[in-house]
Copies of this chain bind each other. A is one copy, B any other.
Amino acid sequence: MAADIRRLKEKLAIIEDLRGASSVLSWDQETYLPPDGIEARASQLATLERVIHERFTSDEIGELIEEAEAEIQAEVQAEVQAEVRADGPAEAGLEADAGLIRVVRREYDRSTSLPVEHVVRFAETTARAMPAWNRARSESDFQLFRPHLEAIVDLCREKAEAIGYTNEPYDALLDEFEPGMTTADVEREFLDLRSRLVPIVDAIAEKEAPSAEVLHQTFDEVKQWDFGLDVIRDFGFDFDRGRQDHSAHPFTIHFASTDVRITTRVDKLFFSPGFFGTLHAAGHGMYEQGVAGELARTPLAHGSSLGMHESQSRLWENQVGRSRQFWTRYYPDLQALFPAELADVDGESFYRAVNRVQPSLIRVEADEVTYNLHVMLRFELERALITGDLLVKDLPSAWNEKMEAYLGLRPGNDAEGVLQDIHWSMGALGYFPTYSLGTLMSSQIFDTAQKELPDLSEEIGRGHFNHLLGWLQENIYRHGRIYTSQDLLERVTGSKLDSSHWLAYIRSKFGGIYGDLP
């Protein structure tokens, strides 16, 4: 390895350690922080952001990136001329170095365009906004959160202007979470998807829905928790390299591929959120645990993009965890755990219950079919906040109107409406679209896995997931961020993002439950 790349990597390892530390503080903030510790934590996180930003945007790193770019270009050229390719895993070779430089150049350019004062204000503002959101949500009072969100929207607009964009400021925000995607791409994808999805939703609405009453009973929380852990242990989530804790809003965070934390919220009166939340988080978690050790302490030691990440949480939650085969294997276990509650319900009914399609108010509890409508709504609202077409003070009513238009429902209060998601309080505007992009990718990837692993369905029916996990590790997880999500998707599936996979999956699966669908 050339000297400049090595020196650059040494500098970046320090940055990665500090980012890991910052993530530990964020994790603790959402899991164990005592209420009066919020202010001090805000200072600590802001300081870490400041130190990271100062170190990362230093001239020295800028020069090392430039020199490394030249070195990489020379090496690629030499390889092409010599018509040889180094053997060994991509994670230790030239491809990884090229990926590293791509990722670092992009982050460097983004970061150097932001003054450190902006970064510190952003960290402080969001550290205070998150607990305010929590309180606002529990009291169902948007006004408690409103000044925080106003500050955040201002900061996001400031950020977009500083970073720059081609068409509209939202591009700059989206690009943070899904590098390479533009607002126009998302809009086109969503318009197309909606036009094909709405007839399916309408058709299902005409049919008789299976009952989901079985899910709404009193389920002992500890038993729920343990059942979820048992299943993700079978999936292959490695508890020597991770753990699950409780938090108000479930999330996954990692400090290294050897230290991945997932969180879940268990509802004593409703089985689905806790259990499927655990599977979802485990999907994210196994992605991070699967990143090659060679990439440790580099900026490549993370999933490729949020969309690709979501494809994995959705794949394990839905393609696996809501499949008929899965419940063939696990329903008897669940029945044994809750004999009184599940005595009168057979496996097929339970499978139908967890797949009941029903427009609802809460995104994280939405069924697979209507889920994307929740995301589209958020995308449109946050885009309008950034363009300035929508003011924060008008957000609750805009939310409620769109909910009525898209899902035929009106939230009874802000807690089940505009306050339900944590993302805006974290300053993560531009994040939501990745949920739908990931959902679409998940089907495309799972279709490929099924082709290459012909026994996959049958294996899921036996609770054997090692081939699937191995295939995903080999094709996706181990690469970390070496490839962009678009390139990675094409490498794995042979084609660009194509929503017809997901639509076919929905038609086939829900056709099996509801009868033929358009």
Contacts and interface: CB of A to CB of B under 8 A. Distances in A.
A241 B240 CA distance: 31
A198 interface: no
Contacts of A28: 24, 28
B296 A40 contact: yes
A21 B44 contact: yes
Given A48-B18, A51-B18, A37 B241 contact: yes
Contacts of A296: 40
Interface centre among A20, A22, A239, A243 (most CB of B within 10 A): A20
Contacts of A35: 240
A120 to B, nearest CB: 11
B33 A47 contact: no
| A interface secondary structure, majority | helix
A21 B20 contact: no
A421 B469 CA distance: 42
A41 interface: yes
A105 to B, nearest CB: 23
A34 interface: yes
Contacts of A272: none
B259 A48 contact: no
A189 to B, nearest CB: 37
Contact of A258 (B20, B36, B51, B239): B36
Interface residues of A, number: 39
Interface string A238-281: 11111101000000000110110000000000000000000000
Given A21-B21, A24-B25, A32-B245, A256 B47 contact: no
Interface in A27-54: 28, 32-37, 39-41, 43-44, 46-48, 50-51
A14 interface: yes
Given A40-B255, A258-B40, A259-B34, A14 B241 contact: no
A28 B79 CA distance: 46
Interface string A1-37: 0000000000001100110111011001000111111
A233 to B, nearest CB: 13
Contacts of A33: 259
Contact of A36 (B14, B36, B43, B259): B259
B36 A24 contact: no
A226 B259 CA distance: 30
Nearest to A29: B24
A479 interface: no
Contacts of A46: 17
A137 interface: no
A22 B238 CA distance: 26
A221 to B, nearest CB: 15
Given A36-B240, A51-B51, A240-B34, A255 B44 contact: yes
A44 B25 contact: no
A120 B28 CA distance: 25
B32 A48 contact: no
A232 to B, nearest CB: 14
16 contacts: A14-B47, A14-B50, A14-B51, A17-B44, A20-B44, A21-B22, A21-B24, A21-B48, A24-B28, A28-B28, A34-B243, A37-B258, A39-B256, A40-B259, A43-B297, A44-B255
Given A14-B47, A34-B242, A37-B255, 13 more contacts: A14-B51, A17-B47, A18-B51, A20-B40, A20-B43, A21-B48, A24-B44, A33-B259, A36-B238, A36-B240, A39-B256, A40-B296, A51-B51
